[in-house]
Amino acid sequence: MVKYSLVGYDSSDTSQRAFRFAMGLARCSGGRVRVVYVLQVVQGGADACSLMMTDESRNRSDELLEELRTIDPDTSQRVDLEITHGSPGDVLVNQVRQHPEIDHIVIGHTSRGTLGRWLLGSVSEDVLAGAHVPVTVVR
């Protein structure tokens, strides 16, 4: 039975559905949900990016918790939230390595065309290729 699900969250409709799904599993199993929000660096120097990430993550944490509470009122009791930076697929796979109690990943899937996948990659493909725990992709 699933005890600790990891959810990649970006406020999109599919990530909200993934969060709802994981919270339903957590309620059924008495488990928890780890929500990870990934800030991506697009351009700029390392120092500027570091400052931006620190400021953004402080501001975004309270906003995200409130957003998650509107989706599911059990958020305060069942959710661990982390805001980090990097490539979303890599971050999610590394979360499982860093937190061995994670036994399931739930991610949303957004359809992109061939060009979009080539330019931006596919988080779900990266996670499916690198995860060593069961993965649920929510559409």
Structure confidence at residue 115 (pLDDT): 44
> Phi/psi class of residue 136: alpha, beta or left (left: φ > 0; alpha: ψ in -120 to 50)?
beta
* Pair type for strands 32-39 and 79-85: parallel
Q: How far apart are CA 80 and CA 65, in angstroms?
A: 10
CA separation, residue 29 to residues 1, 4, 38, 65, 87 (Å):
7, 9, 27, 22, 30
Q: Which residues of the chain have pLDDT under 50?
A: 115-120
List, for residues 87-107, the tens digit of each pLDDT value: 889 999 999 999 999 999 999
pLDDT of residue 128: 84
Determine the pLDDT at residue 117. 46
* Domains, the chain, with CATH or none: 4-138 (3.40.50.620)
Question: At residue 90, what are phi and psi to the nearest 5 degrees?
Answer: -65, -40
Residue 39: enclosing H or E segment and its boundaries?
Answer: strand 32-39
Other Cβ atoms less than 10 A from the Cβ of 10: the count is 18
